[in-house]
Structure 1
């Protein structure tokens, strides 16, 4: 046969496959003669074509028609395939987009190349407009399309059947009204019966209605509540509440009214006070604490009005009273520190009185010149005389006014010229420490007229 044969060579490779615009041009009058021959090579050698090899050609025509067809073997050893366009296919004029595939019976396939060619409309065919076609040459593809179409038809039939079933269930307006009236009557009868029941038919519990914590006890009458609300003895007034809310909240004593700060023997008085921070408070201190105001225990109050970054008091004062009723003051200034204790003078200090000394350990008072003491301006004054001296190192009297350190002194002896040595200890003991006289046996008494500083 005579063909208008267009030959095209393709190299099968994994490199980029660019669409080839060939110079192939057929005419719509190339009926049965439009032939495309493909020469396939792999790695520069002809691709062998066996019985297990199938060439397939896909063509998309200019009008959208698509054809997927099998090629024929021209030369199996030289890798030649060809395809002759059918009479229907050649009628679709315009640019044809095509792609050649090679598939094998084992399921493998190769995309050889994309290319395009032209079908020119002959003058004699100018008035012919072909219909769009879709041609599938493989039976399996055709079978799949038929199954798909069958499924769509079955679905449509099922939908139509369902619509007819709905039409059968449609009732008349009168029938619907009759059913509605009956339902309303039944509901009313049930509701009326339920309304008159008082036996809690649904077994509702207190918890279900939010009353689980309510006791089943009698509640007070409203008049009782009104009386309670109007009771201004049990309830405070607005003015009282304002007064209480505006009260000072810082404690100045502990919860039972005793001192707020306790200062023990091993504490430092100054440190304990400043550690209380900014406040007004009360304290108790033993006489042995460091920097205590007195060797006697003291009680008093303090007021710190400022603190440093560590919360320690920096400005304030302390007033302390010992158990001998001596009052002391001190002031703290963060710039100069504590100013030191000052004893407050009283009328007794300014106008002191003389008091008889109680002698102990065998010492005897002189009836004409009794041994007396007085305290003035923190000085213990002793005057008078006593006899019958005890053994050396024995206390002859005990004073509550105590010096801050041991004080030694001598007084004259009476009856023989000489002196007797005494000391006032920090415990308040007046101790006899010995005598030097011309004739000790002739000494009848000792005479005092001396002031002993207590600070």
Structure 2
């Protein structure tokens, strides 16, 4: 049937647990709204329409006369959550307040109370002043016919009685009663066309045996055992997380298909939008991510201890390494000079640095360092060759002490370890003392027997002229340390066999003798050496004291070289 008219009572229901009080809908139908009284249900949950897939809706109606009906509702739009129910011709005649409850029963065993509400059925003027008709269970056609005939007789009697009692309003009442009597007679005429009880039962049996319109138990079992969990939206599209959200990937743990259209939190690096598949099983799950550009994909798992693994990128054909690249790597330097992080490895205490292979190291309390029993930290560089001789591998070792930056170099040669050699820096040279006199024309002096006579030196090649006072033949040391002294003197008239003392004076007092000069010829040369420690500021001079000469001797030339060793 098309172009039907309805009186719609719209009921917008929000499904939640906050307000379950009985809703007064203010809907009023009339007893004459036969086939047009429609209840329209608009259901929403969490701000969106409530899906009505795999669900049966039941409407419970309790009428003013105490009768209760349970009816199936019609699902009009399952996606938008819209359903309806049209009151039948019997229900619309039961006037008064109607209490109602809408319930949903899902195929997976869940059920949901949508809301309780009330509405009114107003008694139309045309239906007033009619005695209520009692409900009967009619066993067969003949008894129904007798009952209607009896009721018709009662109405005729009532018409007669009302005519006698209500003379002033007889026309009106007679008309109303006559109309009711006519309707009763119409019903009596309709009964002539009713089927017999057996005919009705035959139709019921035929309907029950029609497999095309009925669901058998096997069908129900198949549907109940099917996939009931929703992996997508109802329209088959992935579950959507839009740009207005900040999606935390750690919180998406339900199995399903997703489209995440925002950068989110805890996602793969450099991914701003992605398709994601989640497979969850009890306490473990897998997340697989596909970049919406189709270029990159990642996966990770949530372990049983609730921690996540790192995102692992899935390699593609673009990531394939060519054979030429592999050959280049395989032919490269494979010996590691440091750990993988590029930092120098610390050696364990007591390591013998002579046994180390090529590489860079550091450590303390090492064996065979330049300073014995030194627990300081040293940096060690080893360069070991493939060449050996007499079972000795040629090797060079450079060590630097950390706290004072002093460096030594040592080598292994055919004869074994060749010893440590300390390197000098610019600062070492600048801070050392070196005085070397060479002017033979201005260094002569006469020395009397048994008299300490200062030797005179000429010009000097001192690295710092402020340390040498030529007039006084005096060297003023600027550094404390160990010094090596070389003294060179000559004479052409020294007594053979004499015993002449050569000494070093500090601040005008004899400090240390270099030795004795015992000439074997009158024209003789003496060279003496002295290794001695001095302090900064010491004023150093050199003297000769002739012994057993029996005369004054002449010193023709005198040279001195004084250099700081350390």
Q: Compute the TM-score of the two structures, normalised by the length of structure 1.
A: 0.28
Which of structures 1 and 2 has the bigger CA Rg?
A: 1
Q: Compute the TM-score of the two structures, normalised by the length of structure 2.
A: 0.23
